[in-house]
Each structure stands twice: as C-alpha cells, then as structure tokens.
Amino acid sequence: MNRHILFIFLLLGTGIPVPARAADAVEAARAFRQVHPDLILNRFAQFLAVPNVAGDTLNIRRNAAILRDRFVQRGATMEILELPGASPLVVGRLPAPGATRTLGIYVHYDGQPVDSTAWTDGPWSPVLRDGPLSEGGKPIPWPGPGQTTDPEWRIYARSAGDDKAPFAALWAALDALDAADIARTSNLVFFFEGEEEAGSPHLEDYLRTYADRLQADVWLIADGPAHQSRRPQLVFGVRGVTSMQITVYGPEHGLHSGHYGNWAPNPALLLSQLLASMKDADGNVLVEGYLDQADPLSEADREALATVPDVDRALMDEFGLARTEGTGSLAERLLLPSLNITGLASAKVGREARNVIPPTATASLDLRLVRGCKPEVMQELVEAHIRKQGYFIVREDPDHATRLAHPRITKVTRGRGYPAARTSMDDPIVRPLVAAAERAAGEPVILMPSLGGSLPLYLFNEILEKPVVIVPIANHDDNQHAADENLRLANLWYGIDLWAAVLTMED
Amino acid sequence: MNRHILFIFLLLGTGIPVPARAADAVEAARAFRQVHPDLILNRFAQFLAVPNVAGDTLNIRRNAAILRDRFVQRGATMEILELPGASPLVVGRLPAPGATRTLGIYVHYDGQPVDSTAWTDGPWSPVLRDGPLSEGGKPIPWPGPGQTTDPEWRIYARSAGDDKAPFAALWAALDALDAADIARTSNLVFFFEGEEEAGSPHLEDYLRTYADRLQADVWLIADGPAHQSRRPQLVFGVRGVTSMQITVYGPEHGLHSGHYGNWAPNPALLLSQLLASMKDADGNVLVEGYLDQADPLSEADREALATVPDVDRALMDEFGLARTEGTGSLAERLLLPSLNITGLASAKVGREARNVIPPTATASLDLRLVRGCKPEVMQELVEAHIRKQGYFIVREDPDHATRLAHPRITKVTRGRGYPAARTSMDDPIVRPLVAAAERAAGEPVILMPSLGGSLPLYLFNEILEKPVVIVPIANHDDNQHAADENLRLANLWYGIDLWAAVLTMED
C-alpha cells in the first residue's frame, strides 16, 4: 500500500471534502481500483454477460435498462428513448453544482454479431485470463477485494473492448470521485447508442429528434483502441467516406478475341487507362481540384502530428510492403482525401479465362474524405475527370443507340456518404483534455489529428454544432469485431484514471 | 431443265469421255446434284445420324468406318490409324493417272458436344427444313430423284456445317466426275481428324508419326464458314495464339481502406497503370518490338485484302460500337498481332465490394499472333515491357522477403501457344485454286489473307513443310458449336461444285 492509497483511506474515513484537482482525482481513481478490483470487474462482467447484438431486441433492451439503472444509482437522470425499428437510445444528465461546462459523452452498448463456434469461451460468458490467449493465457478467478491484479490480465467477452469498456471505466471513475468526495468540474450529458455496429442507421434521427436533451459543449466519443504503440491517444477526427462505381462498355456482348481482337475496343483496357489517369506512378491523386478540397493544416495540427510515433516502417514490415504511396507518414497521408480502388472485374481470369473481348469492365472506388471535402463535390470532380478523358457518362446501362452515338461510355453510380469530422487543435477544449489525459497516462499522450477510418461523427458537428474528440481506451490488439474480443486490465485502469481526470479537469 | 443439264444427260447416256476441263466439271457437278439430290442428301443424313463427339469411342469408330468405306467405294486406298487415347485418324490416297500434283485434303469428322435439350430436333436426327428455324422453317420430306430443291432449305444436325459438310460435297463431286467420265488432275491424300473439337490433342503426334503417308503439295483445310456476306471465300491463314496472366501485389492481406487508403499501394491501380502502358488511347500496342515481329505484307497480300467486302460498319452496328481500335479495316487488323485483355479481377465490385485495399489484382491476356511472331518471343517482349515499368517478375507468389525487397512485383504466368500459319498470295497454288473457286461460285470469291481465330495449322507448315489454304463452304449462320446447327442447301451445292472444280483444276 503506497503513500497515496494510505492518504485516501484516511480521507474516506473522515468525510472531509477533497479539493477538486485532477491530480488528486487520478490518485483517488488509482486508490479505488486497487481497493475494489472485485467491484469494478464483477460489475463489468455482469454487463458483458448480456448479449448485445443490435436486432436482438429483448437483450438490447436489457442492456439499456442496466445502463439506465447504473447511472441513476450514480445520481444521473436517465431516459430510454425509442424510435420505430431502432435500438433504444439511453440518454441522461448528471449536473455538477457550479459547473459552466457540459461534456457530452458518447458510448455504444451494442456489439458486433458473433460466430460463437469461433470463440474459445462463449462471447457472453466473460472469462478473466492471466494473459492473451495468443500467448497461452489461462482462465483465473475474478479477484477479491483489495487483491493485487496484473495489468496484463485480460477480460474475454464480446464488447469487452468495443465498446462496453468505457462504461466500466465511467462507473469506477464516478464511484472513485464519490468515495473520495472529489467534485466534478463539468456537467455530463450521456448519449448511449445501441446500434453502432449495425451502421448507426438512426443516429441522425435520434440526434435531430432529441437535440434539446443533448446540449453539451463538446462530445467525447468513447470508442476505439489506443495506439498500436500501446501509448494512449486522443483522436481529433475521422475521415468521411463515399463510393463510386464505374463501368466501361465494349461490344454489346462478349466477342471472340480471335475474330475481333485488335479491332473491337476492349473495356478492360479502357477502364485500366481511365483508372491509371486518376493517379500518378507514386499514387498521388491527379483528379483536378481533388486535393484542394481539404482544409489546410494549422501549425497546431502539425505539432500534433509530431506527437504521433512513426509506425510506418513496422507496418510496412508487417504488411510486406517495400514502398508506400506518395510522400509523408501514414498519419499525414490520412489527412488527405483518398481515392482507392476496392475492386476490379471484367470477364474471368485464370483457369476460367476465355478467349473473349469482355462486354464490360467495372471498378469500385472508395473515397475517404477529410475536413473540407463534400462527398458530392468529390464525386463531381471525379466525374469531371472522367469526362475530360472523353467519356460520356450514363446512369443506366446504355441502349443500342447510345452505344452507337458515343465512342467512350461509362456508367457511374454514386454511393451515399458523409463528410469528415475533425476538431482543430486550436479549439479551447483541446488543452484541458490533453492535460487530463497526460495526468492519467503519466506521460505525453499521442495527439492524432484524424483516424483513417470513417464514422458519422459529422452529425455531432452539424446537428448539435459541437466539436468531437475521440477518447479511446481499449488495447489495439483487442480482437474487436472478431472472436475472442478482450480488454487488457492495464487499459481499463487507464480508462478509469482518464475519466477521473477528465471529469475534474479545469479550463 | 437448262441447256447444260440437257448436254450432260445426253453424255451420261453415251459413255463418251468428257474432256477434263474445270468448267465442264462444274457443269457435271450441277447436273449430278440436280438429278440425284436424293442420293446426296440421304447419304449425308445417314452419316449425320451417327453421333460424333470425341471421347464417345464407339460412335467415333463408327464414323471412321463409314468414312473408310465410302472413300474405298470411290477407289481410294484408306487406312484407319490409331494412337493411344486418341480418336482414330482416317487417311487415304486416291491417285489420278498422270497427275503431277497431289492435293492434301483435311476434314474433321468429330463435332462439338451437345446439350440435347436445347435442340429443336435431336442433334443426330437429321431434319430437312424449308428455311432457317429462326424464320419458322418447317420440316419437309427429303427430296426424291430429280426433285427440284430450294437453295434456302436447310439440313439440321450436329456437324451439318462443322465439319461433315465437306464429306458430302467430296462424295458428290467424285461421283459427278465419275458419272461424267471426267478425269481428276491431281492425286488426293486424305487426312480426316476425329478430335478437332476437343482441341486436336494428337494432331502433332499423328502428323509426325504418319508423315510418310501424308505427302502432298498443298493442304486444303475443308472447314469453317463462308463470309458473312454469304459470298464464298478462300482463306490463306489463321492467327496463332498464346496467353499470359499477370498478377500485381499489394499488401500481404487485404487492408482497411480507411486505415491505410492513400498509404498502402493499391495493386488494382498498379495493374491498371501497367496495362494502360501497353496500348495507346487508340488501342495500338506500345510494347517495344511487338508489331515489328509480323512479316510484312506483299503487294499480292494487299490486293487480296482489297477483295474483302467492307463489313466493318455493319459489324459496328451489330455490336453497338461507335469506334474501333487503331486504323484500318477488320481484315487488315487481323494481320497484326493482338494484345487483348480477356479478364480482370481484384477483390469484389458492386454490392459485394468491401472497404479494402486488395492484396492482389490479376489480368488475363491473350496474344493473337500473325506470321513471323513466335509465341515465346512475344511473351518475352511483354515481359521486357513490364520490367521497363519497374517491375520485378516472379513465377510464384512472392514470399515476405521478396515483397520487402521489391517495390513493384508481378507474377507472370505464360500460357502455351502456337504460331500463325499463312500462305503467301504469291504461292503458285493460289492462282489455280482461285480460278477453280471462281468457276464454282460463278463470281469473284473473297481472298481472305487470314482469319482472326486460331487453329494449329502451322503443324502442316512445320511438320509436312507444305502450305495450307482453308476452303470453307458452310453458311456463316450455321450455328456451329451451338444447338440447331445446320447447313443451307445452297452452301452444299457450292461445295460440290467447288470440289469438282478443284479436283480438275489445271496449273
């Protein structure tokens, strides 16, 4: 038992209020989790034991009810809201007397669907192991009160990492502050979604319908993993996304490559030439105006980039790559809009290949967007590029007359999409958040300007008109979305400390 | 009954020998087919009734035996030769007293496999119809002796066009000459293959093993259809063919296009750029040295080209094309080596597309070769081009170390292949053959320097060291290889006249 724990123990006995300084809050959190690992983990395991796949209506409602009850127990006013055909939304408020700032906290309580046969333990039968399964981790008993835990132990269950971990961390942080009589410095508004893994089909509806209940100064998105280096990170954005499909036409039906090869235009060649024209040999996008849509980076953004560890070489080794596209690190490249071919198809290859001039060739593209890029504008720029290559664009397969009228025809289908969300590093919320996270981590945290992946966080920007910051706590190797999902204890402990610090941060 | 028929009838009655002039021979053939349509068609129908798919050993042997017997009846010395696992080869000789020239005649007696359910009549139940099925042709009785026939009647059965028609024509031509006492001017050597539709797997073996029995001055390949314009043609060559498969590598496994898009090289883009570099925007091959391999065309070749009707516009209309590759007519383009993409594949497109950077992208190519192009040399030139684009070529999927050592890697798999065969229009056999065909056709015939498709006719050039000329008689709309294959009577009549003229041609 170290000095701080002794200090807290003494305070707990006396009822004397503790000054609300984040440093103290982190100490309180540490003390609490060292004294009460049993409470924290048992509560978490009970919640993990409730199946939580969106669409499993009965169980999803059980999850929502548990969330409501547990936050009510901690003084919050909670509501379960419903829209037709949607998983329930759990919202709530937990005011802090005298606080002028309100933090919105987003977590999702649903998990990815499971293939139970692929799991070592059942997906909803939480098991504590003395290490990762991949290194032979063995089941061990859940700890008793005050029992020393090893930070490398792992909890195995669906959503242990993605995304029930933040609930366990929040409950423990609130309890620790309460036990130590430390006052929070911000009001809290909760937004707990129950169908994120199903693509958040009602997120926009919920935000619009219940905007009045969701007034906060910033939205903290409690989701996602820590950095691959195991160092904690704060993430200030995600890319947007949209897609396009391009089909180029040759003869109306496949022609014999002997009888007509060299004469009938080959759509696979035409498509190759069209795609080749969109990027240079280094992989830089050549579509006019495409890169210009991105908001420029600020000095603070560049400083944040400098905090990101260089994992490029390690990833290249892992993926078997001798080069990468363009210039700049992975973190920098993710701040550019991408134009990526996700698939090509024309007739058949290999043993199935026939001596044919194919009638069509098709490419699927996905466009990852950064702040400033509107999905429709990016699609428009790609189409303008296609037209510049001499193509007539159609929206349905061309009829005979259209084919005869245009030497180069492509059908372009535009996918739906949404823009990026990114909070500028100059935003006033950034400094206190970073300070709180560093206090919890005990070291500088990584400030990641944007993830490469896409989430519809722009809705928080556009509907609630507030910035978003992602506060991940799970280990990066948590098998999220797969079998044997798990949470490393060290990451849960960090999460508890992090929330204790965030809930007590000053300006 | 016209003047000529009357003339022949008078001669037939007298036993007076007829001078061996091709003009007379054609008259004799016409007279014979007008008097004996019953004999010609019944004999043909009996032969068509014998199933003839290579591999159906029993029936294939029945076909071979019929061929042997029918040519023996006409004075030939016939042999049925066998190689292990092969359809029997039927060879024979029919000398002409005093002749100094020997014509080799190639026909194949096997037919394409059938899907009986797709046939209106059974594939081996020959039916005579009063027109094409596509225009409602109705079954009619086979004609009796001397009965007038309509040239638009059609005989429906497997191999009616491809390739038993030449046998019916040859038998009738030989009988007509015999009946009119007209002497042939060439010795004949027969080579009847029984597995052409199975890819001629033993053609080379048969030619090498029995080369001593196959001494002829020219090989007439009796196969294939007349021109789409319905005008008769002589064809002086076929393209050779080979293939290649090119796989370009990205990351070792598919990567999330959000997390790594813009950074991990995309093999679908790389493949597109590589393929795009091989041809210009008009479809002309850019691979260095590729087009130079082709033997130049002679003045006579160009004159032959001028006889080919311009079908380009009609074909473009049929196929829905507003442009063709390069410059020049279809017939001219077929005299260039082609480089055609027969298929593209990388991950998935359309509804199956996922947000991935694919691990590989693959293209299948076929290379159609003209005289002068060696398959291995053409493949070598393509590989040299690929290397010039910065690629390291492997023959198996690269291992991790290879991936890390080379920024651009492609696996190239070379298909087997064979060269073109083309008889120069200056060859001494050409003039008399053309004269004979024009006599039979009653109009100028089309002199096609080369078909676009490929057949291993180079074997006749290389093993027997003799030129080949294709002498097609079937209608172009004979549904060859499909259900309801048929032969138009006008085409059979032309075939009989043609062979009567060829068998009696002067130098």
Q: Do A368 and B259 touch (CB under 8 A)?
A: no
Contact partners, residue A136, CB within 8 Å, separation at least 6: none
Name the domain count of chain A: 2
Among B356, B381, B414, where does a domain finish?
Answer: B414
* B312 falls within a domain: no
Cβ-Cβ pairs closer than 8 A, A with B, add up to: 300
pLDDT recorded at residue B228: 85
- Residues paired with residue B356 on neighbouring β-strands, in sequence order: B256
Q: Return d(Cα B110, Cα B162) in angstroms, integer.
A: 9
Structural tokens at position B252: 């070792």
Q: Return d(Cα A457, Cα A422) in angstroms, integer.
A: 9
- The pLDDT tens digits for B58-74 are 999 999 999 999 999 99
- The pLDDT tens digits for A315-356 are 999 999 999 999 999 999 999 999 999 999 999 999 999 889
Could you give the C-alpha distances from A142 to A42, A129, A203, B422, B493, in angstroms and in order?
8, 9, 36, 84, 95
Yes or no: say if B481 and B162 are a contact pair by the CB < 8 Å rule. yes
Closest CA to A340 of A390, A393, A278, A281: A278
Total count of residues recorded for chain A: 507
The DSSP secondary structure of B3-18, one letter per residue, reads HHHHHHHHHHHHTPPP
Q: Return d(Cα A455, Cα A457) in angstroms, integer.
A: 5
Closest CB to B343: pick one of A261, A358, A362: A358
Q: Return d(Cα A463, Cα A474) in angstroms, integer.
A: 28
pLDDT recorded at residue A317: 96
pLDDT recorded at residue A2: 42
Chain A nearest CA to B239, separation (Å): 8
* A359 falls within a domain: yes
Q: Do A322 and B403 touch (CB under 8 A)?
A: yes
pLDDT recorded at residue B37: 98
Q: Do A260 and B451 touch (CB under 8 A)?
A: no
Residues A228-232 have a mean pLDDT of 89
Residues A270, A372 share a domain: yes
Contact partners, residue A38, CB within 8 Å, separation at least 6: A142, A143, A144, A145, A147
Q: Which residue has the higher pLDDT, A110 or A5?
A: A110
Number of other residues whose CB lies within 10 A of the CB of residue B21: 16
User: pLDDT class for B229, splitting at 50, 70, 90?
Assistant: confident
pLDDT recorded at residue B20: 53
Closest CB to B349: pick one of A281, A355, A364: A364
pLDDT recorded at residue B481: 87
H or E, element range at A42: helix A37-48
pLDDT recorded at residue A8: 43
Yes or no: say if B500 and B23 are a contact pair by the CB < 8 Å rule. no
Number of other residues whose CB lies within 10 A of the CB of residue B396: 8
* Backbone phi, psi, residue B204, to 5°: -65, -45
SS3 A287: coil
Chain A nearest CA to B445, separation (Å): 20
Residues B327-349 have a mean pLDDT of 95
Yes or no: say if B105 and B170 are a contact pair by the CB < 8 Å rule. yes
Number of other residues whose CB lies within 10 A of the CB of residue B84: 6
Q: With the CA atoms of A348, A352, A353 and A358 taken in that order, what torsion angle do they form, in degrees rounded to the nearest 10? A: -40
Closest CB to A259: pick one of B324, B342, B452: B452
| CA dihedral (A217, A222, A225, A230) positive or negative | positive
Chain B nearest CA to A219, separation (Å): 22
Residues A211-230 have a mean pLDDT of 94
Yes or no: say if A339 and A365 are a contact pair by the CB < 8 Å rule. yes
* A299 falls within a domain: no
* Backbone phi, psi, residue A487, to 5°: -130, 130
What percent of chain B shows pLDDT beyond 70? 96
User: pLDDT class for B186, splitting at 50, 70, 90?
Assistant: very high
Q: Which residue has the higher pLDDT, B353 or A222?
A: A222
Residues of chain A positioned with their CB less than 8 A from the CB of B363: 268, 349
**Is the pLDDT confidence value at A97 over 90?**
yes
Range of the domain at B41: 3-196+205-238+420-503
Chain A CA closest to residue B277: A273
CATH number at residue A401: 3.30.70.360
Q: Return d(Cα A249, Cα A397) in angstroms, integer.
A: 9
Structural tokens at position B9: 């009838």
CATH number at residue B178: 3.40.630.10
User: pLDDT class for A128, splitting at 50, 70, 90?
Assistant: very high
Q: Average pLDDT, whole number, for chain B?
A: 94
Chain A CA closest to residue B273: A276
Chain B CA closest to residue A264: B324
- The pLDDT tens digits for B130-184 are 999 999 999 999 999 999 999 999 999 999 999 999 999 999 999 999 999 999 9
- The pLDDT tens digits for B349-364 are 998 998 899 999 999 9
Structural tokens at position A48: 């993990």
> How close are the terminal C-alpha atoms of chain B, in Å?
33
Q: Do B271 and A272 touch (CB under 8 A)?
A: yes
Q: Return d(Cα B121, Cα B119) in angstroms, integer.
A: 5
* B130 secondary structure, DSSP code: S
**Is the pLDDT confidence value at B9 over 70?**
no
Yes or no: say if A501 and A437 are a contact pair by the CB < 8 Å rule. yes
Residues of chain A positioned with their CB less than 8 A from the CB of B244: none
Could you give the C-alpha distances from A310 to A233, A317, A445, A454, B400, in angstroms and in order?
14, 13, 14, 22, 22
Alpha helices in B148-192 (DSSP H): 165-179
Q: Do A264 and B319 touch (CB under 8 A)?
A: yes
SS3 A95: coil
Residues of chain A positioned with their CB less than 8 A from the CB of B404: 316-317, 320-322
Contact partners, residue B16, CB within 8 Å, separation at least 6: B181
Residues B95, B63 share a domain: yes
Angle at A297 between CA A291 and CA A298, to 5 degrees: 160
- Tracing tokens 């990170």 back to the chain, one arrives at A233
Residues A145, A166 share a domain: yes
Residues A30, A158 share a domain: yes
* B304 falls within a domain: no
pLDDT recorded at residue B4: 45
Beta strand B186-193 with B101-108: parallel, antiparallel or unpaired? parallel
**Is the pLDDT confidence value at A3 over 60?**
no
pLDDT recorded at residue B192: 98
* A257 secondary structure, DSSP code: H
Yes or no: say if B178 and B74 are a contact pair by the CB < 8 Å rule. yes
Residues of chain B positioned with their CB less than 8 A from the CB of A266: 283, 325, 340-341
pLDDT recorded at residue B506: 87
What percent of chain A shows pLDDT beyond 70? 96
Angle of helix A22-35 relative to helix A3-14, nearest 10 degrees, comes to 90
Q: Do B258 and A241 touch (CB under 8 A)?
A: yes
- The pLDDT tens digits for A482-494 are 999 999 999 999 9
Residues B267-274 have a mean pLDDT of 98
- The pLDDT tens digits for A353-390 are 988 999 999 999 999 999 999 999 999 999 999 999 99
Chain B nearest CA to A312, separation (Å): 9
Yes or no: say if B170 and B499 are a contact pair by the CB < 8 Å rule. yes
Chain A CA closest to residue B254: A319
Residues B488, B356 share a domain: no
* Backbone phi, psi, residue A346, to 5°: -160, 120
**Is the pLDDT confidence value at B16 over 80?**
no
Disruptive mutation site among A244, A256, A272 for chain B (greatest number of B CBs within 10 Å): A272
* Backbone phi, psi, residue A319, to 5°: -90, 0
Yes or no: say if B424 and B299 are a contact pair by the CB < 8 Å rule. no
SS3 A238: strand
Closest CB to A366: pick one of B316, B355, B403: B355
Residues B431, B365 share a domain: no
Q: By mean pLDDT, which of A20-29, B36-45, B278-287, B346-355 is the weakest? A: A20-29
Disruptive mutation site among A342, A368, A386, A392 for chain B (greatest number of B CBs within 10 Å): A342
Yes or no: say if A471 and A464 are a contact pair by the CB < 8 Å rule. no
**Is the pLDDT confidence value at A130 over 50?**
yes
Closest CA to B283 of B362, B339, B335, B334: B339
SS3 B107: strand
Residues B271-291 have a mean pLDDT of 97
User: pLDDT class for B19, splitting at 50, 70, 90?
Assistant: very low
**Is the pLDDT confidence value at B197 over 80?**
yes
Residues of chain A positioned with their CB less than 8 A from the CB of B454: 258
Give the burial class of A10: count Cβ atoms within 10 A of its Cβ; 0-12 exposed, 13-18 middle, 19 or more buried. Answer: exposed
* A306 falls within a domain: no
Q: Which residue has the higher pLDDT, A19 or B419?
A: B419
Residues B280, B231 share a domain: no
Q: Return d(Cα A414, Cα A433) in angstroms, integer.
A: 39
Residues B493, B366 share a domain: no
Residues A452, A398 share a domain: no
Residues of chain A positioned with their CB less than 8 A from the CB of B481: none
> How close are the terminal C-alpha atoms of chain A, in Å?
33
Which amino acid, residue A210? Y
Closest CB to A343: pick one of B258, B342, B349: B349
Residues A198-214 have a mean pLDDT of 96
Residues of chain A positioned with their CB less than 8 A from the CB of B259: 451-453
CA atoms within 13 A of residue A415's CA, in its CB half-sphere = 21
Residues A366, A485 share a domain: no
Contact partners, residue A151, CB within 8 Å, separation at least 6: A488, A489, A490, A493
Q: Do B325 and A268 touch (CB under 8 A)?
A: no
- Residues paired with residue A244 on neighbouring β-strands, in sequence order: A365, A414
Residues A76, A48 share a domain: yes
Closest CB to A276: pick one of B253, B276, B405: B276
Among B346, B381, B414, where does a domain finish?
Answer: B414
Chain A CA closest to residue B321: A404
- The pLDDT tens digits for A409-455 are 999 999 999 999 999 999 999 999 999 999 999 999 999 999 999 99
Give the burial class of A252: count Cβ atoms within 10 A of its Cβ; 0-12 exposed, 13-18 middle, 19 or more buried. Answer: middle
Yes or no: say if A425 and A236 are a contact pair by the CB < 8 Å rule. yes
- Tracing tokens 């029919």 back to the chain, one arrives at B94
pLDDT recorded at residue A20: 53
Structural tokens at position A195: 């169908």
Q: With the CA atoms of A191, A192, A196 and A199 taken in that order, what torsion angle do they form, in degrees rounded to the nearest 10? A: -40
Sheet of B89-94, strand order: B77-81, B89-94, B186-193, B101-108, B218-221, B468-470, B233-235, B446-448
Angle at B434 between CA B431 and CA B440, to 5 degrees: 145
Q: Do B324 and A405 touch (CB under 8 A)?
A: no
Residues of chain A positioned with their CB less than 8 A from the CB of B316: 404
Q: What ipTM was assigned to the predicted interfaces of this complex?
A: 0.88
- The pLDDT tens digits for B485-502 are 999 999 999 999 999 999
Residues A403, A429 share a domain: no
- Residues paired with residue B241 on neighbouring β-strands, in sequence order: B368, B418
pLDDT recorded at residue B167: 98
Closest CA to A33 of A44, A47, A22: A44
Q: Do B325 and A251 touch (CB under 8 A)?
A: no
Residues of chain B positioned with their CB less than 8 A from the CB of A252: 319-320
Chain B CA closest to residue A336: B262
Disruptive mutation site among A349, A369, A409, A455 for chain B (greatest number of B CBs within 10 Å): A349
Structural tokens at position B52: 């003839």
- The pLDDT tens digits for A287-309 are 999 999 999 999 999 999 999 99
* A440 falls within a domain: yes
Among A414, A434, A450, where does a domain finish?
Answer: A414
Structural tokens at position A317: 């080794």
* A15 falls within a domain: yes
Closest CB to A264: pick one of B245, B262, B321: B321
Q: Do A344 and B341 touch (CB under 8 A)?
A: no
* B402 falls within a domain: yes
Chain B nearest CA to A159, separation (Å): 21
**Is the pLDDT confidence value at B108 over 80?**
yes
